[in-house]
């Protein structure tokens, strides 16, 4: 089965990146998760990005905050899709991360999800893989059906209890 690389620049990114891993597990997709700093250990980073294809990765999900170079540098080296997750930061609320990831130069695309968008990054990676995997595509359809059911159950509860009692029992 195709693998997805999940890489983050710091363990402070773990809560967001764990959401990506949770979704991939739910969909039955194999992944490899690493903490690698593009700035503090560039030799380790370059080795990771250079060998990702040989390891069977089809997509890399890279999360980073502030200057957020990790996703773009992955995209500069890894020949297949990279999905960047901008991390919320205390100084600029993640806008710094978002702009750093989304404003890549021509020829080095990085798909970018919302700030702290770990689950959506995993879903986008799964959809990329599903273009060649009918079983995975069906699991994604089932996932969407489950989401629909969750919303319908919440609406049914609202209709039954009314907005003043909703969530208070």
Mean pLDDT of 116-127: 98
93-108: pLDDT as tens digits: 999 999 999 999 999 9
Together in a domain, 15 and 62: yes
Together in a domain, 118 and 167: no
Task: Please check the confidence at residue 1 and state whether its pLDDT lies above 70.
Answer: no
* The length of the chain, given as a count of residues: 169
Range of the structural domain that residue 125 is part of: 3-131
Q: Mapping DSSP to helix (H, G, I), strand (E, B) and coil, where does residue 59 land?
A: strand
61-115: pLDDT as tens digits: 999 999 889 999 999 999 999 999 999 999 899 999 999 999 999 999 999 999 9
Together in a domain, 101 and 26: yes
Residue 68's pLDDT is: 87
Mean pLDDT rounded to a whole number for the chain: 95
Together in a domain, 126 and 45: yes
Together in a domain, 79 and 123: yes
Together in a domain, 148 and 120: no
Together in a domain, 31 and 110: yes
Together in a domain, 20 and 90: yes
Give the residue, 45 or 168, on which the prediction is more confident. Answer: 45
Q: pTM for the complete prediction? A: 0.94
Whole-angstrom distance, CA of residue 151 vs CA of residue 23: 18
Task: Please check the confidence at residue 127 and state whether its pLDDT lies above 70.
Answer: yes
How many folded domains does the chain comprise? 2
Together in a domain, 46 and 120: yes
Together in a domain, 66 and 47: yes
Whole-angstrom distance, CA of residue 100 vs CA of residue 86: 8
Residue (of 143, 113, 121, 122) closest to 30 by Cα position: 122
Together in a domain, 113 and 44: yes
7-16: pLDDT as tens digits: 999 999 999 9
CATH number at residue 87: 3.40.50.1970
Residue 167's pLDDT is: 82
Together in a domain, 62 and 143: no
Q: What does the DSSP 8-state code read for residue 117?
A: -
């Amino acid at each position: 089965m195709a693998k997805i690389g999940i890489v983050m620049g710091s363990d402070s990114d773990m809560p967001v990146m764990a959401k990506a891993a949770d979704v991939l597990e739910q969909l039955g997709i194999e992944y490899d998760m690493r903490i690698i700093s593009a700035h503090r250990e560039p030799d380790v980073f370059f080795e990771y990005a250079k060998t990702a294809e040989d390891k069977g990765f089809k997509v890399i999900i890279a999360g980073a905050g502030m200057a957020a170079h990790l996703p773009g540098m992955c995209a500069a080296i890894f020949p297949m899709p990279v999905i960047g997750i901008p991390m919320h930061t205390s100084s600029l609320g993640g806008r710094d991360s978002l702009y750093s990831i989304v404003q890549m130069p021509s020829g080095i695309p990085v798909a970018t999800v919302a700030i702290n968008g770990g689950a959506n990054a995993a879903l986008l990676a799964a959809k990329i893989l599903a273009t060649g995997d009918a079983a995975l595509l069906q699991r994604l359809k089932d996932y969407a059906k489950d989401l629909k059911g969750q919303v319908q159950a919440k609406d049914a509860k609202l209709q039954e209890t009314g907005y003043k009692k909703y969530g208070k029992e």
